Amino acid sequence: MTKYVRQDPEMTRRKFINAAMGTTVGIGGLSLLSIVGGVKPANTLTPEKTLPAKGDVLVYADPAKNNAPVALADIKEGQVVFAFPKGKVNGTDVVKSGIARNQLIIAKFPEAQLKAPTDIKGTDQGIVVYSRQCMHLGCAVEVKAYPSKGLKEAAVCPCHGGVYDMTQGGRVADGPPPAGLPQLPIKVVGGQVVVQDFFQSLPYDITEAEFETQKKELEKA
Ligand code: FES
C-alpha cells in the first residue's frame, strides 16, 4: 500500500497559495495568540488566518480582482469561482487569505441536485461553498468532470486523486481523503455572498480543540 508522508503544514500552505494564486500572499498583522494558546509556531494565528465567520463577505481570490466582492453574475452553473472570506477581526477589515483552508470554492447547481448530507440551509439559489483544501494532505483541489463516478462537476485533487461530490455535502467520492470537504454555510445578502456560520466539519490542518477554541472566541467578538 502506498504510504503518504504528511507534509510540513507551513510548506503545504505556501505551496497551496502559490499554486492556487500564482503569487505569494503576505502573512502579517496583529497576533491573536491569546485565542489559540498552544498552537505550533508554524501555525501562529494572525487575522489573515482566522476562520471564516458569520457576516464575512466572499471576495475573489484572483489578485487581479483586488479583493472585490464576488458578483452573483459570475456564479454560474458549470463554473466555479475561487474566493476568500473578508470580515472584521479585532475591528479591522481583513481578507482571510493567509491560510490554505480559507480558500473557497463557490459552485452553483440546480437546487434539486443538492442532496444530503449537504447543509441545504447553508446554500442559496443552488450556490454552495466549500474549503478548497484537500482533506488528505492539503493540496488545492480543482473542479472538473469525473465521469467514472457520474459527476459532471467534482472537486478533484491533483496530488493523489481524491474526489469530492459537491452536490452531496462535499463527501468523498473516490481516492484517499479521510473526510469530505468542509462546507461553509452562506446566504446571498444584498447581492453578495455572506457567510452564515463556521465550516460544518473540521477543515484540514487544525485540531478539533483549536477549531472549537477559535469558534468560541469569534462568537464572542
Ligand atoms: S492531497 Fe492527497 S488526495 Fe489530495
Backbone angles phi, psi at 122, to 5 degrees: -90, 15
Measured from the CB, is residue 162 less than 6 Å from ligand 1?
A: yes
Question: Does the CA dihedral 43-44-47-51 come out positive or negative?
Answer: positive
**pTM score above 0.85:** no
Q: Which one of 103, 143, 160, 164 would you pick to mutate in the ligand 1 pocket, going by the greatest count of ligand atoms within 8 A of its CB? A: 160
Q: Which one of 11, 105, 157, 204 would you pick to mutate in the ligand 1 pocket, going by the greatest count of ligand atoms within 8 A of its CB? A: 157
My answer on whether 26 and 78 are in the same domain is no
90 Rama sector, left if φ>0, alpha if ψ -120 to 50, beta otherwise: left
Distance in angstroms (rounded) separating the CA atoms of residues 99 and 123: 24
My answer on whether 10 and 54 are in the same domain is no
My answer on whether 150 and 190 are in the same domain is yes
DSSP classification of residue 131: E
Least Cα distance to 199 among 142, 119, 141 occurs for: 119
pLDDT, position 220: 86
My answer on whether 165 and 113 are in the same domain is yes
Average pLDDT per consecutive 10 residues, the chain (221 residues; last block may be shorter): 42 46 30 34 78 98 97 95 96 96 98 97 98 98 96 97 98 98 98 98 96 93 79
Contacts of 124 (CB under 8 A, 6+ apart): 186, 187, 188, 193
My answer on whether 172 and 148 are in the same domain is yes
My answer on whether 87 and 155 are in the same domain is yes
Measured from the CB, is residue 151 less than 6 Å from ligand 1?
A: no
| Count of domains forming the chain | 2
My answer on whether 21 and 93 are in the same domain is no
My answer on whether 176 and 197 are in the same domain is yes
Q: Are the CB atoms for 114 and 167 separated by under 8 Å?
A: yes
Q: Are the CB atoms for 198 and 215 separated by under 8 Å?
A: yes
SS3 of 135-155: the string is CCCCCECEEEEEHHHCEEEEE
My answer on whether 72 and 149 are in the same domain is yes
Q: Is 164 exposed, middle or buried (0-12, 13-18, 19+ CB in 10 A)?
A: buried
pLDDT, position 221: 79
My answer on whether 207 and 120 are in the same domain is yes
Looking from the CA of residue 158, the nearest atom of ligand 1 is 4
My answer on whether 163 and 145 are in the same domain is yes
Tell me the residue length of the chain: 221
My answer on whether 23 and 62 are in the same domain is no
Q: Are the CB atoms for 22 and 84 separated by under 8 Å?
A: no
Domain of 114? 43-220
Q: What is the CATH number of the domain that holds 170?
A: 2.102.10.10
Measured from the CB, is residue 136 less than 6 Å from ligand 1?
A: yes
